Amino acid sequence: MARVYIAVGSNLAEPMQQVKNALAALKDLPETECIACSSLYRTKPMGPQNQPDFLNAAVALETTLAPEELLNHTQAIELTQGRVRKDERWGPRTLDLDIMLFGDQVINTERLTVPHYGLKQREFMLYPLAEIAPDLIFPDGEALSERLKHIPENGLALWLQPQSSDSNHYIYPMDFKMHRDGKGANPREHS
């Protein structure tokens, strides 16, 4: 089985529900087990700022699917949830599922680039990834913890939702096993 990390993002059509639906669909993939999901993060959009903030997370899977088979499944999930692929880069979207890493493989095909081409520059991918895989080493030998030292925050915050009238709690998606050993990213909390 390969350990795979997927970035999940949404900023349209009720992002919280979009992400919950995506996590449920990932959990149901054949030959695949969901083993961890990060907290949910609020991030500023890349590119045009005249769009809502994104809700982002990272998911760890173990799968026997081939990389392009997994890509077929993630793109089908996106389509099911109303994703429309446009020429506009960095525009708003109902759902974005990106394969960040597939084991230690380096993949460059017409359809798939792994590690994800923007992974090492994007805080909305790296911080959630660090939460569930703090000791991760990229295929090129660089440690995720080292890479994080060079990444600006860009307004990254935990996505909080009131659970009672007197407190706020982190949102943890559904019933995934959570990585909670105290290691990992330490993003600033904002309300």
The domains of the chain, with CATH numbers, are: 2-170 (3.30.70.560)
Q: How far is it, in rounded angstroms, from Cα 74 to Cα 115?
A: 16
Choosing from 3, 53, 96, 147, the catalytic residue is: 96
**pLDDT confidence tier of residue 119, bands split at 50, 70 and 90:** very high
Choosing from 53, 83, 111, 188, the catalytic residue is: 83
**pLDDT tens digit string along 139-156?**
999 999 999 999 877 778
pLDDT at 155: 76
Contacts of 58 (CB under 8 A, 6+ apart): 5, 6, 7, 8, 37, 38, 100, 125, 128, 129, 131, 132, 133
Active site residue 96: yes
Active site residue 181: no
Positive/negative CA dihedral, 122, 115, 36, 27: positive
Q: How far is it, in rounded angstroms, from Cα 155 to Cα 91?
A: 18
**pLDDT tens digit string along 37-85?**
998 988 887 766 667 788 999 999 999 999 999 999 999 998 887 666 6
Global confidence as pTM: 0.81
Active site residue 83: yes
Residue with tokens 């793109």: 75
Active site residue 122: no
